[in-house]
Each structure stands twice: as C-alpha cells, then as structure tokens.
Amino acid sequence: MKITAQQVNELRKITGAGMMDCKKALVETNGDQEKAIDYLRKKGQKVAAKRADREAAEGVVLAKVSDDKKFAAAVMINCETDFVAKNQDFIAYVQSVIDLAVAQQAKSLDELKAMKLGDRTVEESVIEKTGVIGEKIQLGKYEVVEAESTYAYIHPGNRIAAIAGLNKAGDAFAEAGHDVVMQIAAMAPVAVDKDRVPQEVIDRELEIGKEQALQEGKPEQMVEKIAMGKLNKFFKENTLLNQAFIKDSKKTVKQYLEGYDKDLTVTDFKRLALG
C-alpha cells in the first residue's frame, strides 16, 4: 500500500513523532491511523495524541446547566478558521444553540438538530450559517449529563468545556461540583472510575504495556506483571476519582469529595475539546 505524504504529516501532527517513524508506523499498519498510533506507543514513543479530540479543527465549545441544576449539556460547533471561531456573532449563535438545548433538554445530537431555532431547525440554521459565513460550519458534538446536581465549566477561549453530575444536591456541594468540572477540563480523564473504563481500552493498554516491557528487554516472565503495573498507573492518571486533585495533589479527587460528605461522588461526566 502506498503511504502518502499527507497521511504521514497528519500522523505527525497528531502524535508529535518524527516523519520517518510515522511513515514506518503507517507502512506496518497498512495506513490505519489508529493502529499506527498504537504501533508508535508500543515502540516506546511518547505520543501526544488526544484520541477523542483530534477530528475537530476550529470552532466554539460551550456548556450550560438547567435552572433546576439536574440537566447539563455541552455543544461543539466547528468552523474552518480561528478568525470565525473568535467572531462574537458566531459565539452568540453557538450560545443560542446551547440555550435551546438546555431549555428543551435535548437528549441527543439528532434531537438537537431537529429542534426549532426561530423559524428553522438547528440543522437548517447550521447550513444557513455555512452560506452566510462562507466556510464549512458543522454541529460537531453534543453531550448531556443528568444527575441530582449538575455543573458546567467553559475554559477561557471556548475551546474546552466539561459537564458533570454529583449524586447529591445542595448549595453545600456547589464548590465541589465546580472543582470537579475544572478537573475534568484540565486533566481529560477517560472514565469516572477504573470499573467504568471500556474493556477495549484496558486490553489495548495491557498490550501496549507488554510490548513496551519487551522493547525494554525485560524478562518474559515479568512482562505480565509489568503490564499490570502500567495499567494501574494508567487508571491512577486517567480515571477521575483516582486522579490527583489539581488544587491539592496530596489528595485524590475521591478523597477531596469525601471531605464534603463520605458518600459524595461523581455519577457521570462529559468533556468536549477542540484539538
């Protein structure tokens, strides 16, 4: 299979690896970008890929909580250039979409697209914006969280937003909720806790851990144990409740929440980011 310079360049932008390493990874994996990323990781390269975020180019990401605080939503509307993303009219348009989504509690992207924004559907309004602005506009992603209490955080610049739910409600937990969504925005966890990490992610991390151990010349009989150690490190760094709390690294997020109430926990979260 012929690997193009564009494929190599795209992989390089995603991973930060060298051009020749990227080309070799693509050749070895028949041009499959996902497999090429894993190939580079197995070879011990530090890959800077944010897997869930990389299809987005420019745009605006906003989040909002309902008046009763039991419903939160986040939306990403993409555009081609930073110039449009920073335009106040475009930001106001995205705000009108998230306002509608939360007011009518849209549960999915398809549901949101079909809702009326003025005299047209949201989907039709996006097409109209494409014509007016002169570059591709796309309703990229939409996520919701429902819980006893929900919280939202938009990072300055409208490029990252996080929403989360707690299992308890009340003003006493407002600061904890705000800290949790800031943590999610900053640290990009993959799941609430290790038992919520998808099995395919666990399998992939174990496989990568084994390959790394073999590449480092570790004895065959130690490979499984080393891979498990790497997996536990992955859980600690990438699951929300087990991460070091950004405001006090001596505590995990779980311990921080238990400081408010021994049963307080996060029920769900979503994070949207341009990348």
Q: What is the mean pLDDT of residues 64-72?
A: 98
Q: Classify 91 in phi/psi space as left (phi over 0), alpha (psi -120 to 50) or beta.
A: alpha
Is 197 inside a domain boundary?
Answer: no
Q: Locate the DSSP E strands across 86-199.
A: 116-117, 120-121, 138-146, 149-154, 160-166
Q: For 3-26, how does the pLDDT look when each residue is reduced to its tens digit (9 = 90+)?
A: 898 888 888 877 778 888 889 999
**Is residue 245 a part of any domain in this protein?**
no
213 pLDDT exceeds 90?
no
Residue 146 predicted with pLDDT over 60: yes
Residue 150 belongs to domain spanning: 58-178+267-273
What is the count of structural domains for the chain?
1
Would 96 be classed as within a structural domain? yes
- Picking from 81-85, 151-155, 257-261, which range would have the lowest pLDDT averaged per residue? 81-85
Residue 14 lies in a domain: no
Closest-CA residue to 152 (of 185, 174, 181): 181
> 164 is written with which tokens?
């989360």
What mean pLDDT do residues 174-183 have? 97
Please state, for a pLDDT cut of 70, what percent of the chain lies above it. Answer: 95
Residues in the chain: 275
Q: Does residue 221 sit within a domain?
A: no
Half-sphere exposure of 118 (CA within 13 A, CB side): 10
Q: Which residue has the higher pLDDT, 141 or 211?
A: 141
84 part of a folded domain: yes
Residue, of 134 and 66, whose pLDDT is higher: 66
Check whether 54 has a pLDDT greater than 50.
no
The domain that holds 83 is classified in CATH as 3.30.479.20
User: Is 106 inside a domain boundary?
Assistant: yes
Q: What is the mean pLDDT of the chain?
A: 90
| pLDDT, tens digit (0-9, with 9 covering 90-100), for 216-261 | 888 888 888 888 999 999 999 999 999 999 999 999 999 999 999 9
Dihedral (CA of 138, 140, 145, 146) sign: positive
Please check whether residue 109 lies inside any domain of the structure: yes
pLDDT of 53 > 80? The answer is no
Report the predicted TM-score, pTM, of the whole model to 2 decimal places. Answer: 0.77
Q: What is the pLDDT of residue 137?
A: 87
